[in-house]
Structure 1
Amino acid sequence: MHITTIALIISILGLISSFFVVGIIPSIMAFILNILCIREEKSIRTVRALAISFAGILLPIVMYLNSFGLSFPYEKLNGLNAISQIMYDNYGRLGLDVSFMVPNEAAGENTELVLENPDEMYYVSDGVVVDDDGMHLDEKALNNNAKENSDGAAGTSTADAIALEIDPNSIFESIDSLDESAKAENDYGSDKKGASDDDMPSYGGLPLGVRILGQYFREDYHNCNPILVLKNETGNDCRFECLFTARDEDGNELATSNKTVEVVSQGEAFVLEGRFDKRLLNGTLPSMYEFLVTKRDPYEGNLYDGVSVFGEIVENSAVVTAQNTTKKRAKVDAYVLFFDGEELVDCIWMIPKNGGEVTIDPGSSAYIRGDAYYKFDRIETYYTAYEAVGE
């Protein structure tokens, strides 16, 4: 086999393995070999192989700088070595789910980073800061936020008009449309009072600059989910990622939720929810929940300032309306909390759309309707909006 062909094969293999960082070594070898080949034969074949090997060298360098910058490698997450951490950071920023790279036994240990990095994180338990150097809750801010985001039970003429236009083929089924046997079996219905279950203990770590406004717990027949209401006061738009861990009374891990991700504008409130299926918990409730929230620079195009969202109560349902004033297609994630007095009785993700699968066309509006499992008298609506790519 000709040496030029061998150099090309090594270059290609080096470039492919560079996507897993380790390809820099064969790429350097191929680059040197291609330099020797091009001195003897100046052709498109040798130049092509040289370019491929150079790309195989450059890619791992860019990935390293994207993860650690100009510093030496250091531990970010327990259970990940330097190469795994580089892949975790880079592919995570591309929107891929890389949570599987963190070993299960290390998921709980990662909360130790909260205490090991006091300059970047602070620690809370049941909404109270337990580190004297951390941020402190502002009850006035909590009350103001609830007032700003809550909507009265009385519907307006606008809400009535929207109710008449709701798509009868909506994927959201009205609770009152369920047959009596289904409602009786699960004790659901707009006239049923939800259980008082917001006293579930929870604790964890938050980035500095993130204020905790509320902690709730939502249980129904299938799920038992912890909910955090937070506010981004970091001074920048951020991409927040969160993992919840369910633990028993001895602190042993029962289950870990999927990673929750939200892109949030500076100064805005948002919701993170951990989803736990009771079947995975053997039908028993955890004794406590642990959470770890991290932040990074967003790669999504934030359209929050160009999208308006409001929620209203129409009869026994919540209607969320979103207006996209931008020239781009928007993806809107709205999160509605249903309250009966001060008790959270239900919550639901609602995605208004009028174009594609989950998008709102430029210069248009869309709405969606959803029901709570139990009786409620007010709602709080939170949302994020960003540019839809490939939807």
Structure 2
Amino acid sequence: MAGTPVRVALLGCGTVGTEVVRLLTGQAADLAARVGAPVELVGVAVRRADRHRDVPAGLLTTDALGLVSRDDVDVVVEVVGGIEPTRQWLLAALRAGKSVVTANKALLAEAQGELFAAADASGADLYFEAAVAGAIPLLRPLRESLAGDRITRVMGIVNGTTNFILSAMEETGAGYQEALSEAARLGYAEADPTADVDGYDAAAKAAILASLAFHTRVTMGDVHREGISAVTPADVLAARALDRTIKLLAICERVVGEDGTESVSARVHPAMIPRSHPLAGVGGAFNAVFVEAEAAGQLMFYGQGAGGAPTASAVLGDLVAVARNRVAGGRGPRESAYADLAARPIAQASTRYHISLDVADRAGVLAAVAAVFAQHDVSIAAVRQEGRTQDASLVVVTHRAPDAALRSTVDKIAGLPFVNAVVSVMRVEGEDQ
């Protein structure tokens, strides 16, 4: 194959890194043909060199900074994760003019502006398709294919662990802890599942999606986050009774205020969605993202969102793109943050609530509850009441209203003398009302 080799340094050789090495070596001839020059792995940075016997010893090093600083490295592929010291390694590479391919969602959600600035200053590329939704080609369509369109909303299931747990709760009737244990047994949940079940992983991905979709720097701090640990079998049954299902959703919206001012709303939380919605049928550990744009209309991206091979596939796709740019003398897309829209707090987000109450079963209760909704200017879409001797179950589904108004309504109702308990509060998405 003609052409000077594109020399690659790999940071990290865990589940994903091992797959990257396998694909790089096993498909070397195909990659060279696609790029127009050989793609050569020249070094692999790891914590413990003695634990990677499948990698030639001459490639292994424990000095990541030294590796990215070498003159014979053209591209740095990072699959280590975390923010520090990874940030310093990638900044050193970018400032030296070396292109970077990363799967590091946490770092991008925290420091994308700094990384892009370093890439722009040196003329290097920064690619990160693997940071969101694994093998699903999602970021490149947002970044390139839809660059001429106006995206209004991105809503999706971007965490396979939580989707597996919620799917198991619905299919088997299991409680949250039981479903989490099964996810861990099957390898879908980490030993410490906090990042997944508490929504941190999805929030980082939401920040990246919102940044690309709305040409605005959105960080983790701008994303409202709630996890799934409070979801109960009763919530699942309540959703089923309304022909809905519960999913942990990342929702990013372009919001136009009454004065015409635009802002960005980014939030992660469990929500009920109708079974007719395209996301409702996404089960197990799969991911799917629903995109709405003014000209393109509604688009759906679906597939495996995690795992060594799917993530490595996205990494290799980025590596081919970066290597082609190196060979041809071109550059990939730069950061687009010209819109610089303000982040809209969750209190101002327009949402719907599904509220389950345990109340005294006596005359006037429903009227009194309805009066509280009216006081907060929240319209009721549906009510269901079932008596149980002296007590009753009261379910209220609202129309859209500011989240702050809905939250204030729930707080007021909780203090009413005939309300025994607010059993659950769940947002409702995927409907226009």
User: Which TM-score bucket, shorter chain as reference?
Assistant: under 0.3
**Bigger Rg over Cα:** 1
User: Going by fraction, where is helix more abundant, 1 or 2?
Assistant: 2
The structure with higher relative contact order (CA 8 Å, sep 6+) is 2
> TM-score when scaled to structure 1?
0.27
Give the TM-score, by structure 2 length.
0.25
